[in-house]
Amino acid sequence: MNDSYLLIDKPAQMTSFGVVARLKRVISKAEGKKVKVGHTGTLDPFATGLMIVVTGIECKNAGTYTKLDKVYEATFRLGQTSTTADPEGELTPVSDTVPTREQIDEVLAHYRGDIQQRPPIFSAIKIDGRRAYKLARNGEQIEMPERTVTVYELEVLDYTYPELKIRTHVSSGTYIRSLAVDIGNELGTGAYCSALRRTRVGQWSIEDAQQLSDFGVTD
């Protein structure tokens, strides 16, 4: 397990740091020494799915994994907004208008290809050396700069109002929570990402991932 990478299926309600900390304990115990362990891209606590965890000298290559494209399956809940753009924030009703499938398809077409996206304020992006989510929790005003990201594929898996289920293949740095917010704004209904699962990172698939329990992690 040392000097390599691990494919992990992150459970919901656990931070990416929590995954790393648990694996570090297990691997260091197995190796009989303290082993460096890191992740290659955070998943929000509410999200599940593929995390690539690097160990030992492979930590030097973490940036290579981070830059890879990713595939997600997500559920956007229409009609409400969230202060964090996910289920953990304060929810506010916006509209009870029910968009048609044709309206959904028309709006989604605007979010394929290169797009401008503003990351959520509740994110791990650093602003003047400090994590944006820490600033937001302290009530500080934050202006997140827009960035160009690429949405290679964006398809509807199911639409039963108020839930819109999608699959999307995106470039590194794309926030699915921001995608939900932008789509909700354009529909005029508001929206937030209520469920999120990462199914692929580069060439690696969730089907090849292991559970934390496979490493003896029980908490």
Q: What is the dihedral of CA 96, 155, 7, 149, to 10 degrees?
A: -90
Q: Cα–Cα distances in Å, from 122 out to 44, 125, 135, 143, 154?
A: 10, 9, 9, 12, 24
Which range has the worst mean pLDDT, 44-58, 72-86, 116-130? 116-130
Q: How far apart are CA 106 and CA 36, in angstroms?
A: 47
Instruction: Give the DSSP H/E element, type plus range, for residue 176.
Output: helix 176-187
**Signed CA dihedral, 197, 203, 207, 208: sign only:** negative
Q: For the chain, what is the mean pLDDT?
A: 92
Mean pLDDT across 20-42: 93
Which range has the worst mean pLDDT, 6-10, 91-95, 164-168, 213-217? 213-217
pLDDT tens digits along 167-189: 999 999 999 999 999 999 999 99
For the chain, the domains span 5-67+203-215, 70-201
Question: Which one is catalytic: 9, 44, 86, 182?
Answer: 44
CATH class belonging to 70-201: alpha beta
pLDDT tens digits along 89-143: 999 999 999 999 999 999 999 999 999 998 876 666 666 666 666 665 666 666 7
Residue 44 annotated in active site: yes
pLDDT at 127: 63
CATH of region 5-67+203-215, choose from 3.30.2320.20, 3.30.2350.10, 2.60.40.10, 1.20.1250.20: 3.30.2350.10
Q: How far apart are CA 181 and CA 145, in angstroms?
A: 16
pLDDT at 156 over 90: yes
pLDDT at 135: 61
Higher per-residue pLDDT: 139 or 16: 16
Instruction: Give the DSSP H/E element, type plus range, for residue 19.
Output: helix 16-31
User: Residue 115: which region, alpha, beta or left (left: phi > 0; alpha: psi -120 to 50)?
Assistant: beta
Q: How many residues does the chain have?
A: 219
